[in-house]
Structure 1
Amino acid sequence: MSHSPTAVVDRPTEPSGKSKYWSMQVGEVFENFPLTREHLKSCLALFFVFAIEAWEMMIIVYTAPLISQDFQLDAVAQGNLIGAMFIGMLVGALGWGKISDRYGRKRAIAYSLLGYALFSLASAFAPNYPVFYVLRFLSGMTAVGMMIVTFAHFEELLPVRYRGPCTVYLASGWPIGMLLALGVSASLMPYGWRTVIALSSFGGLWAIVIALWVQESPYWLASVGRQEEARKVLAKLSRGAVQLPRECTLLVDQTHQGKHRELFSRDMRRVSYLQIAVNFTFSWGYWGLQTWLPTLLQQRGLSLPQSYSFIAWSAICMIPGYMVASYLTGRLGRKKVLIGFIAAAVVAGYGFANSQSMEMLYLSNFALAFFSLGAWGVWGTWVCELYPTSLRTLGYSWAALAQRIANVIAPTLIGMLVAYGSSFNMTTTIINMFMVATLFLVAFIPETEGKPLH
């Protein structure tokens, strides 16, 4: 961590020379901003928000066999059960962008954590399948706020030159959440799925850490006219290196009013349609495999404990994928890294679908985990950078909506394929075609590396 020797308070030239008041874009302030321990605290706090979200999304996948046995569900009903939380996320997605814009990024994340904890804990005591389904649906409606707001919030705290690498590091909370969910599921299975679900609900208490460690976004504060608070946040984030006087008015892009329809206006619709399409195909390609991976692996002769071990090693391989993607995105840009990583994931997916030995199955899946999750880290960063402050969380809410639509459809349709006897090769090949579609779509999205947020 380093401090800037010079505070970013240079006053723009006033043509008239008469007014002592002047203004700066918040994005301009961050162009020469230092990276400090305050950023590290925020990264750690938000990292675990993302890990908690991954935990909550995956815990239902890992406990689904036990829940299905308890409620006597077939493969199609099990797929619907996995999709319940995602249907809730789908319904709640578009609302969280507005909540974030009205109450602030920090409060929105805390509300999301507490809401998911309440409904998740209640679901652990559900007496039957219909009640359990409804509570998982409500848990999804509240939990999706973590996904929509966390990336945008963190990016709005970071210096321009560190924004890409640091945000990809944040995304590596996903495999940590997976490993935690897998470890808890495996170790507490003798105590039943209700114990596992109840324990996972206590992740909502992380809202206390968010309240204590994370600063509110200065972009959002400036957008709602809270100038003094925005200046204080900038001073605290920089640990005193950046001091802006009261005469300086902080500005953000005000050409949009923060309405959903503006995402599809003439100047924004191309990027909005593209990112929505990418989120749908990419999520299908990734989540379609992950939700049924234990079952698909059992088709290849692995026992359930062996399948869990396989998934754990896959999650471990994701972590260096994020690290490499983080290193490369600050040097090569978002587009080149994403295209390269998705192309490699497609090759690995083909090898996984057509593996003829257990060694090839392991090797290709570990490569798939490395490249696909590294790509997800870059993509999560890129989406937020495509929009100005007034549309940033709204744009990400549509990204989450597209992901959740894929998350709802994919487990159900793949469950139908499994139920009707589709082969391992056929099922995984169908999933992999969505990754191929993603590869072509991202080529048309504009590069944002090195550009300030608006």
Structure 2
Amino acid sequence: MSETRGSVSERLDALPFTRKHLRVLSGSGLGWALDAMDVGLISFIIAALTQHWGLTKGEGGLIASVGFLGMAIGASLGGLLADRIGRRQVFALTLLIYGLATGASALAGGLALLLIFRFVVGLGLGAELPVASTYVSEFAPARIRGRIIVILEAFWAVGWTASAIIGYFVVPASENGWRWAFVIGAVPAIYALVVRLGLPESPRWLAARGRTAEAEKIVAGFEASAGLSAPGGKPAGALRPEGGAAAGGGGSATAVGSTAAVASTAGAQAPVRNRLAAIWAPEYRTRTAAIWAVWFCVNFAYYGAFIWIPSILVDAGFGLVRSFGFTLLITLAQLPGYAVAAWLIEKWGRRLTLSVFLIGSAASAIAFGTATTEGAIIGAGMALSFFNLGAWGALYAVTPEIYPTSLRGTGAGWAAGFGRIASIIAPLLVPVLLGAGGAGLTFTVFAVFFIVAAAAAWGLVEYRGKTLDES
């Protein structure tokens, strides 16, 4: 390897996938799966509490929405904190908040206290997701970055499947089954916290903050894991600050456009107001508007549908246990959806993959809303899981790519935070839609949101195979 290949980005992008990459991916994916398990469990718990506590559909929607309110705030604050104090620190904090509040939720004796705990859980979960995708993307080599982020997102299917299994076997087992579900959800958070504390900080973030010695040590460790070294046994490449000139070479290693000052070390330390303004600067304005629109529409349709599917099936006369069994089958289709998206995202690119899966989601939503037989319900539901979760994988892959290192956490966090507004609205609006026109009208509305998201995806910038700092 040449001594002139010295920037953090160049050295990370030149690496093969190593055991250290696997550790970063699996450690982050564990927290991702816990997030999914918690969100998935709520759909089963709402259905159970409707029977045990006599909740109305409006109260059930409130339980879901207050959690998403916490997630909206958590995503926005988490992204800002990740750019300010580091990715790993925010990871540990989010898991601690999540674990404590989830365990406390099991002790709730009434709706008001449960709502408070669910809001706090949402704060932790909301900050977790955009920070995790930002963190993993900053370690991933450019040629496989999109695929790695889709694989990270696939941990969502693992967690949601776990929630479906718990929902099927634990929640309906007794009147307090939902409490045990919360306990099960809290225990793994302790292990995940330990794993997260053992992960390295993002060297791209460290370099952007001027902490080059720490970045050097981490990058050198990854190079050693890959068996790469320069002549004389020294780590390949002499580290220079992110975006600086190569040793012996002219020009900049990166091009971040008209907002280069924000992408500098000083920019990484800029006040919150400056970083928020930067993502709406002329260079990033179109992509920010597009990514916010996609996040909003996908959140509305996804959470509106999947939070309510168990309750919709119960209302259709299938019974609590049977409807939970249907939901488990539907959930299993998420994994192949992620697998196909992970393959296509490096073949077709981010925008095409995202838009195709969103159009497939729209068609599946219409099919599910009009299905009448058991086979049609399960088949359409599995198609909806396949396409919708594949779209989520592509969305999480593209979001951190469209901003430079100093703005990546802020940009991804605020896109997710804006999207969570839709996830707050959707669970509250679904009972109204069901009352006005049944499942047919409800899922047609979801299909419209998917189509709008597919169109908005073309306002994004394609960065397949490019280094993150070219964004």
Q: Structure 2 length normalisation: TM-score?
A: 0.88
Match of 1:251 in 2: 242
Match of 1:211 in 2: 197
8 A Cα contact 2:364 2:380, kept in partner: yes
Q: 1:65 to 1:366 in 2, by over 3 A?
A: closer
Match of 1:160 in 2: 142
8 A Cα contact 1:113 1:203, kept in partner: no
How far apart in 1 are the matches of 2:395 and 2:80?
22
Q: CA deviation at 1:338?
A: 1.4
How far apart in 1 are the matches of 2:111 and 2:376?
39
8 A Cα contact 1:55 1:177, kept in partner: yes
8 A Cα contact 1:279 1:403, kept in partner: yes
Q: Verify: 1:444 aligned to 2:444, yes or no.
A: no
Q: Verify: 1:323 aligned to 2:309, yes or no.
A: no
Aligned match of 1:47 in 25, 29, 47? Answer: 29
Q: Verify: 1:274 aligned to 2:290, yes or no.
A: yes
8 A Cα contact 2:8 2:239, kept in partner: no
* 1:234 counterpart letter in structure 2: V
CA deviations over 1:93-151 (Å, ceiling 9, x no partner)? 22111221222111211110011111221222123221221121111112212112100
Q: Verify: 1:136 aligned to 2:129, yes or no.
A: no
Match of 2:373 in 1: 357
* 1:31 counterpart letter in structure 2: D
SS for the counterpart of 2:109 is coil
8 A Cα contact 1:118 1:201, kept in partner: yes
Aligned match of 2:67 in 81, 85, 96? Answer: 85
Q: CA deviation at 1:302?
A: 2.2
Match of 2:129 in 1: 147
CA deviations over 1:33-86 (Å, ceiling 9, x no partner)? 221111112111111111001111122221112334444321111101111111
How far apart in 2 are the matches of 1:72 and 1:359?
30
Match of 1:18 in 2: none
How far apart in 1 are the matches of 2:122 and 2:49?
18
Match of 1:233 in 2: 218
8 A Cα contact 2:73 2:126, kept in partner: no
Q: CA deviation at 1:294?
A: 1.2
Single out whichever of 425-434 and 189-198 deviates more from structure 2.
189-198
Q: Verify: 1:422 aligned to 2:437, yes or no.
A: yes
Single out whichever of 274-283 and 91-100 deviates more from structure 2.
91-100
Q: CA deviation at 1:343?
A: 1.8
Match of 1:36 in 2: 18
Q: In the comparison of the two structures, how many residue pairs are matched?
A: 434
CA deviations over 1:161-190 (Å, ceiling 9, x no partner)? 111111111110111111111222332222
8 A Cα contact 2:337 2:387, kept in partner: yes
8 A Cα contact 2:137 2:149, kept in partner: yes
Match of 2:351 in 1: 335
Aligned match of 1:179 in 138, 161, 170? Answer: 161
Q: CA deviation at 1:244?
A: 4.5
Q: CA deviation at 1:332?
A: 1.6
How far apart in 1 are the matches of 2:296 and 2:452?
10
Aligned match of 1:102 in 80, 84, 102? Answer: 84
Identity of aligned residues (%): 28
Q: 1:247 to 1:339 in 2, by over 3 A?
A: closer
Q: CA deviation at 1:313?
A: 1.4
8 A Cα contact 1:175 1:318, kept in partner: yes
How far apart in 2 are the matches of 1:355 and 1:181?
25
Match of 1:20 in 2: none
Q: Verify: 1:73 aligned to 2:55, yes or no.
A: yes
Q: 1:97 to 1:10 in 2, by over 3 A?
A: same
Match of 1:21 in 2: none
How far apart in 1 are the matches of 2:390 and 2:239?
40
How far apart in 1 are the matches of 2:430 and 2:166?
26
Q: CA deviation at 1:348?
A: 2.0
8 A Cα contact 2:212 2:241, kept in partner: yes
How far apart in 1 are the matches of 2:188 and 2:32?
11
Aligned match of 1:431 in 429, 446, 451? Answer: 446
SS for the counterpart of 1:423 is helix
8 A Cα contact 1:51 1:177, kept in partner: yes
Q: CA deviation at 1:246?
A: 9.3
Q: 1:39 to 1:146 in 2, by over 3 A?
A: same
Match of 2:271 in 1: none
CA deviations over 1:326-361 (Å, ceiling 9, x no partner)? 111112211121122222222222222223433222
Q: CA deviation at 1:203?
A: 2.7
How far apart in 1 are the matches of 2:164 and 2:29?
18
* 1:10 counterpart letter in structure 2: E
Single out whichever of 244-253 and 298-307 deviates more from structure 2.
244-253
How far apart in 2 are the matches of 1:267 and 1:294?
44
Q: Verify: 1:396 aligned to 2:383, yes or no.
A: no
Q: CA deviation at 1:245?
A: 7.4
Q: 1:246 to 1:10 in 2, by over 3 A?
A: closer
* 2:342 counterpart letter in structure 1: S
Q: 1:192 to 1:363 in 2, by over 3 A?
A: closer
Q: Structure 1 length normalisation: TM-score?
A: 0.91
